Structure 1
């Protein structure tokens, strides 16, 4: 039975750490390209060039550009969920306060990085990301029903309301991030929250 080759350290850095570092560079390069020219600008070659690496190292971390883009979206959506959970912790036991905290956490997380904001806004226009967007809508609808509205997620009327609020909020926030709505951040949060409260059962 053959013995697997021993991976050598280079300048005190293990092979695994070097791979991890290259992956991080590729992720940042992908985000930079999205921010500069949009999702369509992301290719294996453009990302590798932006990162100062060869395409061989791109394929070391990602099977293709869609896998990278999905990883970028997964990271973003994960951060949004964490931000919402943290915002809901300690929020007064009032549906209006919980809805407002949820909307603000979403908007603040996206607005913090213009690259990720553009990524979020363009997910609906890319085939590989549209499916992930739909999955995220389902996840956020469940979060809204259980953690924000504290209702029964099997209730079809509540499910309809949650889907409507989440899909509408996603569309509105995407347009705001793209500069299509002349509202301040506070105005956006207040208006979306008011609509959510009005629709809440």
Structure 2
């Protein structure tokens, strides 16, 4: 086993997702993940609390990023402009070379009800952070909640489309398209 190499957490994540995709989430142990990554069980636990966390790491940083961007927008920015800026910043981190890994990860989540529940909780927490950030900007609660939910829908739609085989549009383009399409759909309800 290697003592230290860069990108340990990423190596563990790649090893875990590969194993989960091959054998199923419940049939893979932490020891097997560590061994696949060329590391020890102890190293695994330095980076992740359990094997579920390996699929959901980084969520706190994403939520903080959304909150910072939304609250940092100029005072004249509309709620949807603030949400759009946060989505654009988030989407900019989706590199094409990560698409295959993230598609496998989503397949693993889709095949396990406990992981689906965790994913829904993650999405709800992000929506709440967006709504809270908008309220901190002085947006009234119903408007803040609606804008945050539209942002979450746009993000989910863009992510699903980004993962589709053959898609070559960037996550940022897809997020902008989704947000615009949802805004247009709301206009038709008037």
Shift of 1:119: 6.4
- Separation in structure 1 between the aligned mates of residue 44 and residue 172 of structure 2, nearest angstrom: 43
Shift of 1:133: 0.9
TM-score by length of 2: 0.64
- Mark the runs of 5 or more structure 1 residues left unpaired by the alignment: 1-17
Residue pair 1:99, 1:197 contacting (<8 A) in 2 also: no
Shift of 1:129: 1.8
1:121 matched to 2:106 = yes
Deviations 1:78-137 (A, max 9, x none): 221122233335323322321211211332234387177346634343333212111112
> Which of 119, 122, 130 is 1:144 aligned to?
130
Structure 2 counterparts to residues 99-138 of structure 1, below 5 A: 99-111=83-95, 114=98, 117-118=102-103, 121-122=106-107, 123-138=109-124
- Mark the runs of 5 or more structure 2 residues left unpaired by the alignment: none
- Separation in structure 2 between the aligned mates of residue 192 and residue 124 of structure 1, nearest angstrom: 22
> Which of 9, 21, 31 is 1:40 aligned to?
21
**Which of structures 1 and 2 has the larger relative contact order (alpha carbons within 8 angstroms, sep 6+)?**
2
- Residue in 2 that maps onto 1:94: 77
TM-score by length of 1: 0.61
Corresponding pairs, count = 171
The structure with more radius of gyration: 1
